[in-house]
Structure 1
Amino acid sequence: MKAVACMDDVLAIERRGLPVDLPTSTYEMICRGAAIDPSAPALSFFATADDYRNAERWTYGELVHDITRTANMFARLGVQHDSVIAYVLPNLPETHFVIWGGEAAGIVCAINPLLEAEAIGELLNASGVSVLVTLAPFAGTDLWQKVQAVLHKVPSLNDLVLVNLADRMPGEERFAVRMLQRLRSAVPSQIRIHDFSTAIAYEPGAALGRTRRPGIDDVSSCFCTGGTTGLPKIAMRQHGNEVANAWNAGVFLGESIGPGKTIFCGLPLFHVNAVMVTGLLAFSRGAHVVLGTPQGYRGEGVVKRFWEIVEHYRVNFFSGVPTLYGSLLDVPVGDCDISSLEYGLCGAAPMPVELLRTFQDRTGIRILEGYGLTEGSCVSSINPPLGEHRPGSIGFRLPGQAMKAVVVDETGRYVRDCVVDEVGQLVISGPNVFVGYTRPEQNSGIWMELADGGRWLNTGDLGRCDADGYFWLTGRKKELIIRGGHNIDPAAIEETLHRHPAVQIVAAVGRPDMHAGELPVAYVQLKPGTTATEAELGEFLRHEINERAALPKGIRIIDAMPLTGVGKIFKPALKRRETVDAIRSALVEAGVEGATVNLNEDTSRGISAHVELPSTLHEGLATSALGRFSFAFSVSVAASPESNVDGAAAIEVPTRSR
């Protein structure tokens, strides 16, 4: 099956429709992928980058066997189809067993292991967890300490299943029974404790036993979204959503993912991209997944030795965020043979066009930019593997993924579809779209009724569609700050700073960053008669915010917050200030002095920057520096000292003198 090359290919696939025998669950979908060749490699795992040549390996027959044993273990613990199994785990083979075995038995809930204890406890309670799978105590990891600290706050939890990293230590005898006895006093008495390896060893792996077979309309998973901090927002997806998304992405990408192909997984398995693109999609088509270290791309030496890993495993495909591609640019390919690589997928945050072009020119690897959201299972659009790739675009919508830009009124109600290249609210509809959030009040306003009478999901993103069917993002109506692919809710920073006795008004915005995409910055207006320094406020936040990524890179104390005519904080003014300052800082760092920076707001293209240089001497340096940002830009050279450049001047916000 050939991959998509143009929009006509997408339409042709849609005319054929979904197959009548589409799998009814993710478990069945993986079993069908395994049946292509049960002896083929399915999953490889290496614990450290230095030891990447010595990986554990599972064939497809062995993978399904261990997933089945895990599902049967959960059923023995009393898991029903509506029971929640939460996992707080790094990237391990057992994580995949828990995800897919958990979905076969009940509902899995993914929780970021990098969160602090309090945030983990909030999500466990919000999910209504009955079984929790996490790491046993192990030297060099703090996950057990964080989880153990909140167990007494989760009354719904009945069973604690521990994955023991010591099982993988060479020359070290297993001590599961002794470890569980030692932990008994540290765990509330009503919670039963189990060793994962021991528990599944007693289960049959040939077929599902006592567990009820999941159906297409059963809830399969819950993923945290809307930012990793703040009020828990958990999206519920059905088996049918995940199966449809994996199938649609598979026919879009064609033979590039299938038997004989190798996929590298370095993104964290609490994120839908890793779970769906380098998990279910690959397994459903009989491809080989290489899982690199428990920390993925963050693992020591993984990026440094990435090209060696590609050569050794003959990797054909990998998925990452813009910051990964930026880091890989600093690693010379050298003598490594990376000819097996067909392309890399980039999502989670906008990819700077200059970074994309530089990476492709230097490595010869094609990057396919895509777009998706947890609420849409994962992938909604991708640049075509075989057709024209338009840098800056998020590509064509997947087959079966209805997607359009629409005009809405001031209340958010649908008015009409946008015409070609007109910016509007992006909405999606299709079998991959989730059923809603666990908190009923969070579902208010997310659905939109269009002229066709169908139910469409308001993505919160602004975009346009060109005449050839390529979609382009032009902004985010929702105010999430995306730092290296991590979603940060500004409210988490703002609500925390509001608790400081000297703070009157707070606004958190994203500052453009060449490496992380965005960094959170907080603006603060103090109460009259009070004093506080930026350092004091920063120290206050360090004790109050559970997510390290959400800690602001800077705190700006200002005399007066910019407000709209009705008294609302005017965040665009602050965002523009940070954007101008980030550009100036990047130019100075590149050796470009004396530049004038202006921002322009284009209704069809979003924010763009114009930089005027005093001479042609540093034009190349300026272009290179600006190209690392995700917004459009232009560069000119001043004709004379009196010359003036059209465009909106940067908005200055008065800073309190200190």
Structure 2
Amino acid sequence: MSAAPFRASFPIRSLDDIRKLEAAPLAEALTVRSTYEIFRNSGAAFGDKTALTFLRTGDPADAPIRWSYAQLLAGIHQTANLLHRLGVGPDDAVAVLLPGCLDYHLALWGGEAAGIVQPLNPLLTDEKLVALMTAGRAKVLIAYGSDAESGMWSKAMRLRGQVPTLTTVLRVAPHDEAPGSAGDLPDGVADFGALRAAEPDDRLASGRDIAPGDIAAYFHTGGTTGAPKLARHSHGAQVFTAWASVNMTGQGPNDASINGYPLFHVAGVLPASLASLSAGVEVIIPTTALLRNKQVLANYWRLVEKYRPTSLSAVPTVLAALANVPLDGADISSINYCRTGAAVLAPELAARFERLFGLHVHESLGMTEMAGISTITPPGVVGPAGCVGFRLPYSQLRVVKLDADGNASDRDLPAGAQGMVLFKSPNLFSGFVDPADNAKAFTADGWLATGDLGWLDGDGRLNLSGRSKDLIIRSGHNIDPKVIEDALGAHPAVQLCAAVGAPDAYAGELPVVFATLIPGASASEAELLEFAAARVDEAPAKPRSVIVIESMPMTNVGKIYKPELRAMAARRVAEAMVGEACTELGLDAAARPLVEVDGDNALKVRIDAAAAGVQAEPLRQQLQQALGRLPFKTQVILQ
């Protein structure tokens, strides 16, 4: 068994440096076989050094809770041994329903040492959580013993009787709960902390020898609309993500980072946690609510001044929020590396961040299907917004032309030409739990079809423009929404913006833009439309309208949620058509139908027959005919 933590061989600044690293066979360069081995090595190397720092509140004056590397390893041993005693084996799943907390790391890494960990998004409906746990055959659920965060405990109690394979729920006490205050727990529910404390903390009682091909985790993809899919990660894939991240970024035991990503998401678990902890970095957890905590955001720069993190990592929407938080004299000189991912960075936001804080934002690309990381822009490498850096060592990257259906073809494109991004890599996932989901994930010759659109520059760096599914298709013309977003995002009053296709009976889709404004700023929709249109050269791509909204819909990870924006755009179109039909029939506002658009682009118009009177049926027929021309499943219902 290897005994050394991960450390960078030398700084990576170019593709030639990556090739130099690849001179040795991967089997020689990386000998660690499992995530458990990572924590054995880190525990031995760093001992009493702080591994995890949990902030109880967003107030910099409050004392945090700290765990050393030795304490973390001991807790991982205890957790794995507890799960083993509860009957969890290498093929059994341990579901996790927790907020940001120290115990999450015990559930993650102890769960992987005993079986297969299955982190869950607490904002999913009960129905989807039950489906995920049933598909993963979860045997144990580790859940937060409070409803303070997303109603987790009540949700866990409801799930308990609906998952056939579930035998035990382990209750994690909130850090501020008084001992013994939880009271008696129901049958099949036990206290995680009390049971864990009774287990050996210096070894795996199972004696398990974990192989690189053993499945470590099930991560669900999407799930906000439609059925989420369970992606299988092997130990080897997760270990490679940690090793490659450390080599690409150079992080080590003198570094610290604030990890504000949710720990049910690959970004928070793998590049932000496992990679850091494999190299002796101190990982700071900013309260149970993470960066959704308004106090944490308001005090972010003061927290940086106190805890001296050397890197800042956040999704673009969080960076936009931080750009509104004044430094007020806070010393943030400890930060030497700022990075983002999950969504393409707007050029204006990148420029604003650098102007305000002196921090260049380095972009990376990560995805669930590649164990959290695919490309990295290393420290010292400066690229334009949208440049997500170099491929990982020992990985392969292609950009291919789209076929007529918008899918990947087998035709490679030269540098500078935009197409779909494909990967092969040691951290490629082991396929979905449901084999039927694999068909669209891979090309016929085994490349991962990412759905990302981009191009390679002369230095071999990948530059992203967006997602193939986000393309706006106007009369057969593919419009890249990033062109519109970059144009409007340059307006000084705009905080965030996102372009989507609004349905049109003739063109199929027309580009529209939703925008939020910087607090205190003002601009009319007409002014913003004129500003954006003047900066979009291609006539079909000029937006038809700009809609200012109070807040941008977000996923729980902090990405702009475009399906909701598309539904909002469709509703506006349908409501306009309904208004025209009502006007023609002389109906007043009280008689106008209710328009609904769901996440599957199904349009429903409900007519109150009593309010519409004798004109209800003519109105229904007129609307069915008019709305039927839109690219939607349309239903006009007479009630």
Normalised to the residue count of structure 1, the TM-score between the two structures is 0.74
1:344 alignment partner in structure 2: 338
Q: Distance in 1 between matches of 2:99 and 2:332?
A: 27
Q: Distance in 1 between matches of 2:408 and 2:176?
A: 56
Q: 2:173 aligns with which of 146, 159, 164?
A: 164
Identical aligned pairs, as a percentage? 32
2:159 alignment partner in structure 1: 150
Structure 1 pair 656–591 and aligned structure 2 pair: CA distance change class (3 A): closer
Matched, 1:577 2:571: no
Q: 1:78 aligns with which of 87, 108, 113?
A: 87
User: Letter of the aligned partner of 2:381 in structure 1?
Assistant: G
Q: Which moved more, 1:239-248 or 1:207-216?
A: 207-216
Deviation at 1:168, TM superposition (A): 2.4
- Could you say what secondary structure the match of 1:301 adopts? helix
- Could you say what secondary structure the match of 1:344 adopts? strand
Q: 1:656 aligns with which of 556, 577, 583?
A: 577
Asked whether the equivalents of residues 408 and 449 of structure 2 are also in contact (C-alpha less than 8 Å), the reply is no
Deviations 1:337-379 (CA, angstroms, capped at 9, x unpaired): 1110012220111111111111012111221111111001111
Deviation at 1:126, TM superposition (A): 2.5
Asked whether the equivalents of residues 44 and 290 of structure 1 are also in contact (C-alpha less than 8 Å), the reply is yes
- Could you say what secondary structure the match of 2:154 adopts? helix
1:189 alignment partner in structure 2: none
User: Letter of the aligned partner of 1:474 in structure 2?
Assistant: S
Q: Distance in 1 between matches of 2:246 and 2:360?
A: 18
Deviation at 1:581, TM superposition (A): 12
User: Letter of the aligned partner of 1:469 in structure 2?
Assistant: G
- Could you say what secondary structure the match of 2:243 adopts? helix
Matched, 1:174 2:170: no
1:485 alignment partner in structure 2: none
Q: Give matches, 1:471-490, under 5 Å.
A: 471-479=462-470
Structure 1 pair 519–119 and aligned structure 2 pair: CA distance change class (3 A): farther
* Unmatched runs of 5 consecutive residues or more in structure 2: 1-7, 473-480, 545-558, 561-571, 580-639
Q: 1:319 aligns with which of 296, 313, 321?
A: 313
Deviations 1:176-223 (CA, angstroms, capped at 9, x unpaired): 5x331xx44xxxxxxx21111001000011011125232100010111
User: Letter of the aligned partner of 1:444 in structure 2?
Assistant: A
User: Letter of the aligned partner of 2:322 in structure 1?
Assistant: L
Asked whether the equivalents of residues 499 and 512 of structure 2 are also in contact (C-alpha less than 8 Å), the reply is no
Q: 2:102 aligns with which of 88, 93, 98?
A: 93
Q: Give matches, 1:443-592, under 5 Å.
A: 443-450=438-445, 455-479=446-470, 515=495, 518=498, 561-562=504-505, 570=508, 573-574=509-510, 576-578=511-513, 588=524
Q: Distance in 2 between matches of 1:413 and 1:306?
A: 42
Structure 1 pair 608–319 and aligned structure 2 pair: CA distance change class (3 A): farther
Q: Distance in 2 between matches of 1:14 and 1:252?
A: 13
Asked whether the equivalents of residues 235 and 375 of structure 1 are also in contact (C-alpha less than 8 Å), the reply is yes
Matched, 1:200 2:196: yes
Structure 1 pair 336–581 and aligned structure 2 pair: CA distance change class (3 A): closer
Q: Distance in 1 between matches of 2:467 and 2:529?
A: 32
Deviation at 1:300, TM superposition (A): 3.4
User: Letter of the aligned partner of 1:577 in structure 2?
Assistant: V
Q: Distance in 2 between matches of 1:240 and 1:439?
A: 21
Q: Give matches, 1:603-622, under 5 Å.
A: none
Q: Which moved more, 1:405-414 or 1:364-373?
A: 405-414
Q: Distance in 2 between matches of 1:325 and 1:341?
A: 14
1:335 alignment partner in structure 2: 329
Deviation at 1:588, TM superposition (A): 2.0
Asked whether the equivalents of residues 34 and 286 of structure 1 are also in contact (C-alpha less than 8 Å), the reply is no
Asked whether the equivalents of residues 75 and 211 of structure 1 are also in contact (C-alpha less than 8 Å), the reply is no
Q: Distance in 2 between matches of 1:521 and 1:466?
A: 29
User: What is the CA RMSD across the aligned residues, in angstroms?
Assistant: 3.2
Normalised to the residue count of structure 2, the TM-score between the two structures is 0.76
Q: Which moved more, 1:413-422 or 1:398-407?
A: 413-422
* Unmatched runs of 5 consecutive residues or more in structure 1: 185-191, 482-508, 524-560, 565-569, 612-628, 631-651
Q: Distance in 1 between matches of 2:119 and 2:263?
A: 8
2:24 alignment partner in structure 1: 16
Q: Distance in 2 between matches of 1:467 and 1:32?
A: 39
1:276 alignment partner in structure 2: 270
- Could you say what secondary structure the match of 1:16 adopts? coil
1:534 alignment partner in structure 2: none
Matched, 1:267 2:251: no
Q: Distance in 1 between matches of 2:36 and 2:288?
A: 24
2:46 alignment partner in structure 1: 37
- Tell which has more relative contact order, 1 or 2 (C-alpha 8 A, sep 6+): 1
Deviation at 1:110, TM superposition (A): 1.1
Deviation at 1:72, TM superposition (A): 0.7
Q: 2:115 aligns with which of 89, 106, 109?
A: 106
Deviation at 1:3, TM superposition (A): 2.8
Asked whether the equivalents of residues 498 and 513 of structure 2 are also in contact (C-alpha less than 8 Å), the reply is no
Structure 1 pair 521–131 and aligned structure 2 pair: CA distance change class (3 A): farther
Structure 1 pair 331–430 and aligned structure 2 pair: CA distance change class (3 A): same
Deviation at 1:232, TM superposition (A): 2.2
User: Letter of the aligned partner of 1:317 in structure 2?
Assistant: S
Q: Distance in 1 between matches of 2:139 and 2:524?
A: 54
Matched, 1:387 2:381: yes
Q: 1:434 aligns with which of 429, 433, 437?
A: 429
Matched, 1:287 2:281: yes
Q: Distance in 2 between matches of 1:410 and 1:74?
A: 50
1:233 alignment partner in structure 2: 229
Deviations 1:427-470 (CA, angstroms, capped at 9, x unpaired): 000110001111111111322245xxxx2111111211112112
Matched, 1:299 2:305: no
Q: Distance in 1 between matches of 2:369 and 2:532?
A: 42
Q: Distance in 2 between matches of 1:601 and 1:148?
A: 56
Q: Distance in 1 between matches of 2:537 and 2:232?
A: 37
Q: Distance in 2 between matches of 1:117 and 1:480?
A: 32
Q: Distance in 2 between matches of 1:248 and 1:384?
A: 11
Deviation at 1:408, TM superposition (A): 5.0
Q: Distance in 2 between matches of 1:229 and 1:66?
A: 36
2:238 alignment partner in structure 1: 242
Structure 1 pair 590–36 and aligned structure 2 pair: CA distance change class (3 A): farther
- Could you say what secondary structure the match of 2:450 adopts? strand
Deviation at 1:403, TM superposition (A): 1.2
Asked whether the equivalents of residues 403 and 427 of structure 1 are also in contact (C-alpha less than 8 Å), the reply is yes
Asked whether the equivalents of residues 587 and 593 of structure 1 are also in contact (C-alpha less than 8 Å), the reply is no
Structure 1 pair 81–40 and aligned structure 2 pair: CA distance change class (3 A): same
1:647 alignment partner in structure 2: none
Q: Distance in 1 between matches of 2:326 and 2:382?
A: 27
Structure 1 pair 123–229 and aligned structure 2 pair: CA distance change class (3 A): farther
Structure 1 pair 369–29 and aligned structure 2 pair: CA distance change class (3 A): same
Q: 2:355 aligns with which of 343, 346, 361?
A: 361
Q: Give matches, 1:98-137, under 5 Å.
A: 98-137=107-146
User: Letter of the aligned partner of 1:146 in structure 2?
Assistant: K
Q: Distance in 2 between matches of 1:95 and 1:593?
A: 46
Structure 1 pair 142–312 and aligned structure 2 pair: CA distance change class (3 A): same
Deviation at 1:16, TM superposition (A): 2.9
Structure 1 pair 374–592 and aligned structure 2 pair: CA distance change class (3 A): closer
Q: How many residues align?
A: 525
User: Letter of the aligned partner of 1:42 in structure 2?
Assistant: A
Matched, 1:3 2:11: yes
Deviation at 1:9, TM superposition (A): 1.2
Asked whether the equivalents of residues 53 and 312 of structure 1 are also in contact (C-alpha less than 8 Å), the reply is no
Asked whether the equivalents of residues 71 and 211 of structure 1 are also in contact (C-alpha less than 8 Å), the reply is no
